[in-house]
Structure 1
Amino acid sequence: MPADWATLKTKRALKDPLVATPEPSTAVAYSHPDLSPSLQVRTLPGRGRGIVAQAHLKPGQTLVATAPLVSTLDNLSLPSRCSHCYRSPDDLDRGSSSSKQLLQCSLCHVVQYCSPACQKHDWPVHKRECAALRRAVKASGKKRSVPDTPVRALARLLWTREVKGEDLWKQVESLESHRARLSPEEQERFFHLSLALAQYVGQDTLKQACPDAGAVMDLCSRFASNSFSLTAPTDLSNLGVSISPLTALFNHSCAPNAVVVFPSFPSPSSPRHMHVVAIRAIEPGQEVLTSYVDLALPREARRRELRERYKFGCPRAEDGCEGLIPLPDRDSTVTSVTCPACKSSAPYKSVHDALDAAKLAFADAEKAQYTEPHVASLHLQHLLTSLLSPLSSTPSLAPSAHPVLPALQLLLTLQLHAQAFPAALSTALRASDGARRIYGEGHPVRALLRTTTARLRTMPPPLDAAHPEAEERYWGNVAAREEARGELVGALREVDVAFGDRTATGVGVKGGEMARALRDLVADQEQGIVVARRMRAAALQERRERRAVKG
């Protein structure tokens, strides 16, 4: 008989809480309908449970397609997206819904839906959530505020347990809890989270799942260590949080061979919208690894997050970037640095003060991006000038450095929203260069930036009925259109790898929503090329006929 989720737990060593107890690599009796036969759960020396390939896996191959136990929109997305399928009004014309307006729940006036069908599917959980939201909004008085995202996500998990039963809760209890290793600050944070959760759902609902305070702390710890960012399939923007015990089985690497993605929005016919996709070739017996942290963060920041949030140290040595000089430590006394590629040396002046100022400017820009986007753009442009310009007083940083790359990504988002497309193209090119140095080919972040760059490079001029010459020149330039098609096809290849292929199962689109949009743009360019060639041929024929008449 296969073991259930709870019996699959492996215990960590008490001597060193950051390292798993070494044990032989053995298969684990395990059953889950969404686990492919090409994968096997094993206990691995020093790493606890992990997932190992049982067959040759290709880049772009979808390894797991599953429905999270719970996905919850964050507070920012809650008013502007459907709480069941997570679409925004802008997404609706690309989906199957006939309405382009969201329907607000008439009772709580908080949750939105894109259609009666989505509202009906969500109702078993939302009818419990609805009453809790009304109480919370009423208790907040004039603020009319709703609880924070973690509180609402945990609450939906508890209500989903009431709807689906104890089998679901066994999956939750199988997740790693680090309660014994929590710092005093974490204990206090989770204590306040548990109080807010109890107030929101009520003591009776909480006690049914968590009979004592220790069980509540376990739940909070499991959520913090095993939740995933819910992202939009069209642009990877953060929408909220998801919980999937199956996906949490994959171990971490800062050089991952697979990624966790949401290629498309869920639907009643295709609810399994959380995928794990191979981005490199994986051989039989090789562990399948995803990344738990943002790979664009500095190495020490990644290691700190792994230790503080996930309670383990990263044992894997990382290769340096060829041609890039590693940043010396803050207290380093070096006076010169040497390029690992060309071996040339140059004087070194500490950039840490400039980096500290840049990080503050980036934090200010993040705060201002929704309320004062122009101010946020100014902060980012000043930050980037200080760190990238050869005329600045500090050595220039690579576009892959932190906070340069996240600043470029945020500035690009602001420029796109402002429709400042020429400036956005320049930013996208630099961000793509930075992403290429960090992320392997086929990584979703790299694929998104390449897609954005290709779309900006191939964007036709705005329609102007009074002056159609610019559009005629655009579509009449066959060489430029063929180059544009090549840009889009190159981006499409990378997107197809990043978001996987489930077309063999009859569900979904290869490469997801992003690939669908790219294929439409490729088709537009191909149609434009055909028309331009016909126009050119017709013009040549007309000139020949005129010459013949004159002759």
Structure 2
Amino acid sequence: MAFQALRARRDARQRDWRRRSTEAPTHACQAIPGTSLEVEVTTLAGRGLRLSPQAAPCQPGDTLAEFPTSVSVLATSQVPHRCHFCFSKPDHALVRCSRCHFARYCGAQCQAAAWTDYRHRDECHALRRWFRTAEHPDTLPDLAREPGPSVRALAQLLWRRQRQDAAWWQPHARMISHRTTLDAASQEEAASIAYRLAQFLGSEGTLRALGIEHADALLELVCQHRANGFTLSDPHLDPIGVCIQPTAALLNHACEPNAVVVFPEAKPGHRCRMHILALQPIQPGDAVLTSYVDVATPHAERQRILRERYHFTCRCALCTRHDSWIDPRTALWCPHTGCVGWVSPTAPSACRQCHRVPGAMDVQATLAQAQEAALHVEKAMASNDLHTIPSYVAISLPGLSAIAPPSHHLMWTLLHAAQVVAIEKEAWDEAISYALLLCAGMQARGARDARSCLYIPGHPQRAVLLATLGRLLAQSTSDTPPTASAWLARPPPIPPSAQARREMAWAILQQAQHEALVGFGRATQGGTVGHLVRATLHVLSQEQEAARTMCQPTS
């Protein structure tokens, strides 16, 4: 995102993000109003954010900053299901814009707000022109032909720029683009977006009025968005769109972050706000670092994404581990009968559990099949096309679960998709099985330290997964023995009775509440996830009290 390094280091594409609090900034630091953060420029990392030396130390769950986004738009797959203004997903039918037929709203209040503050007024005209709605007013727009979330986001950014002063635009103009170092495929992708953006906005005169004087300026803007845009997520961390926030874009990267960016609350009728939260203790003067990629992704894939999209090689503590630990993201089960230890898929090493060195393992065909299935599943999840997922999971998960623990990155993808499908079809025993494995996988460690697990304690993903498992267990009221999933070679044990499941739910929800207060912030009481957890705990408490009352002898 925000990277300005010396030319020699940039050309080498090598950067060390192990920020030391003793490293002096090369320029005067600039305070960010309303926060305890400031912008610093260092030799190693370029521009970034740090906790002000005058600030108090931050603890996990502290809010470092809270911002509105400059623009935020829904992904194409989310447009039919969410309000175009507040992004909520109401139970009732959405109201469609009568002009463009594209935008939908949860009510008249959101529709009026979107029009009044110009978030949809300019966009509506552009969408009508794009879909030719004015010529065919009775024809609904084909979402497959829509300009795309990146185009809609950048168009809104330029329309907002037209109505703001120069100071508002300055942070956006300073965002780095990496345009001159893009590979051929990335250049072609950026050029395609720029072309669609020009078509969406209209004539050359319109572009000049919006501050775009030539094609290079338009391409630069697209590349800035590519390098600095954020995924817009709902309070459960599900991706629902894209957004731009230039101050948050200054956060530098570490695969072992001390901060996280979330949207912890969704309030109907209100735009969601971005929160930067501390995941670990941060001392005054320390850099504030977040992860640009999902930290459950294995090392090689993280590095590939960072090189291709952000043009650096990460050298954080997690990426430079040289000890003999086995990464849970790529670990395989020890092949020796009865052992539940891990072995490395590449280097011949002794199992940590039985201390024996495994022989040659014929797993490549299984892993290749799972890799192909995971790619299809990820695309299906992104497009909300759930009906295609079971066939891929059924083919690949039985074999993969026999050789890989739930922390393995391919297991993680398939388990998450299988859980979503199971919940959709109300197959509760299956959903609980997958949720148990996901929770086990996220906490799995390849060594006796917290940093080696997929998600460090307090990460919001832990709160979401634990809350899901706890709520699934809490609503399981049948005393019928649970049915094991046919897709799992090693199904986890599920408590056999409803009472045992409720007791397990209580313990898991207590942990989820603690994790939510960190991952979604104490200031919001854990956000929407924390609210749902407390509500479920309250129901469980009432049920337990009612059960005790019924068991008391009558006088």
**TM-score normalised by structure 2 residue count:** 0.82
Residue 261 of structure 1, CA deviation: 0.6
Which residue is 1:533 aligned to? 548
CA contact (8 A) 1:257 1:290 kept: yes
| CA separation of 1:184 and 1:480: change in aligned 2, threshold 3 A | closer
1:457 pairs with 2:458: no
Structure 1 match to 2:389: 376
Name the residue aligned to 1:514. 529
Query: Are residues 1:166 and 2:166 paired?
Result: yes
Conserved? CA contact 1:447–1:498, under 8 Å = yes
Q: Answer whether contact 2:71 2:245 (CA < 8 A) is retained.
A: yes
Question: Partners in 2 of 1:73 and 1:266 — Cα distance?
Answer: 16
Q: Within 2, Cα distance between the matches of 1:112 and 1:498?
A: 31
Matched, 1:116 2:117: no
CA RMSD of aligned residues (A): 2.8
Structure number with bigger Rg: 1
Of residues 358, 365, 382, the one that matches 2:377 is 365
Tell me the equivalent position of 2:264: 263
2:238 match: 237
Which stretch shows the higher mean deviation, 185-194 or 206-215? 206-215
Task: Evaluate the alpha carbon distance shift between residue 513 and residue 231 of structure 1 in structure 2; reply closer, same or farther with a 3 A threshold.
Answer: same
- State the alpha-carbon separation in 2 of the partners of residues 371 and 484 from structure 1: 29
Residue 398 of structure 1, CA deviation: 2.1
Which residue identity is paired with 2:229? S
Question: What CA deviation, in whole Å up to 9, does each residue of 1:155-188 have, x standing for no partner?
Answer: 1111121233433221211211111111122222
Q: Match of 1:136?
A: 130
Aligned to 2:48: 50
DSSP-derived class of the 1:384 partner: helix
- Structure 2 distance, partners of 1:325, 1:21, is 29
Alignment of 1:385-534 (within 5 A): 385-389=398-402, 396-437=403-444, 438-461=454-477, 481=502, 483-502=504-523, 509-534=524-549
- Residue matched to 2:338: none
Bigger drift between 71-80 and 204-213 goes to: 204-213
Q: What is the TM-score when the length of structure 1 is the normalising length?
A: 0.82
2:249 maps to 248
Change beyond 3 A, Cα 1:101–1:374: closer
Secondary structure at 2:345 match in 1: coil
Q: 1:375 to 1:107 in 2, by over 3 A?
A: closer
**Matching residue of 1:80:** 81
Which AA in structure 1 matches 2:41?
T
Q: Aligned runs of 1:320-335 on 2, under 5 Å?
A: 320=325, 321=327, 324-328=342-346
Aligned with 1:454: secondary structure? helix
Q: Tell me the residue number matched to 2:365.
A: 353
Q: Paired residue for 1:13? A: 7
Mapped contact 2:477–2:498 kept (Cα < 8 A)? no
1:148/1:374 CA distance change after superposition, 3 Å: closer
Residues 479 and 354 (structure 1), Cα distance of their counterparts in 2 relative to 1, 3 Å cut: closer
Contact in 2 for aligned 1:158/1:206 (Cα 8 Å): no
The verdict on how the C-alpha distance between 1:198 and 1:420 changes in structure 2, with shifts beyond 3 A counting, is same
Distance in 2 (alpha carbons) for counterparts of 1:343 and 1:148: 53
Q: Greater helix share, 1 or 2?
A: 1
Among 105, 120, 125, which residue is 1:126 paired with?
Answer: 120
Amino acid at match of 2:234: A
Structure-1 separation of matches of 2:315 and 2:363:
28
In the alignment, structure 2 segments of 5+ residues that lack a partner are 18-22, 329-340, 445-453, 479-494
Distance 2:304 2:461 in 1: 22
State the SS of the aligned residue for 1:314.
Answer: coil
Deviation of residue 244 (structure 1)? Answer: 0.6
The CA deviation string for residues 7-60 of structure 1, in whole angstroms up to 9 with x for no partner, is x984542563324699942564424334x22x2322233111222224311111
Q: Would the aligned equivalents of 2:48 and 2:250 in 1 still touch at CA under 8 Å?
A: yes
| Rounded Cα–Cα distance in structure 2 between residues aligned with 1:347 and 1:20 | 38
Contact in 1 for aligned 2:93/2:106 (Cα 8 Å)? yes
Counting only pairs closer than 5 Å after superposition, residues 270-281 of structure 1 correspond to structure 2 as: 271=271, 273-281=273-281
Q: Which 10-residue stretch deviates more, 125-134 or 524-533?
A: 524-533
1:273 deviates by: 1.5
Q: In 2 relative to 1, CA 106–477 (structure 1 residues): closer, same or farther, beyond 3 Å?
A: closer
Q: Pairwise mapping of residues 307-318 of structure 1 onto structure 2 (< 5 A)? A: 307-318=307-318
**Residues 58 and 282, structure 1, Cα contact 8 Å, conserved in 2:** yes
Q: Secondary structure, in 3 states, of the residue corresponding to 2:78?
A: coil
Partner of 1:465: none
Aligned identity (percent) is 33
Contact 1:65 1:272 in 2 (8 A): no
State which of 196, 200, 216 in structure 2 corresponds to 1:214: 216
Unaligned runs of 5+ in 1: 1-7, 91-99, 329-333, 390-395, 463-473, 503-508, 543-551
Instruction: Determine helix, strand or coil for the equivalent of 1:338.
Output: coil
Would you say the 8 A contact 1:13–1:21 is kept in 2?
Answer: no
- CA gap of 1:209–1:19, structure 2 versus 1, over 3 A, is farther
CA distance in 2, matches of 1:16, 1:84: 40
Deviation, structure 1 residue 280: 1.6
How far does residue 284 in structure 1 lie from its aligned partner after superposition? 2.6
In 1, distance between residues paired with 2:194 and 2:505? 54
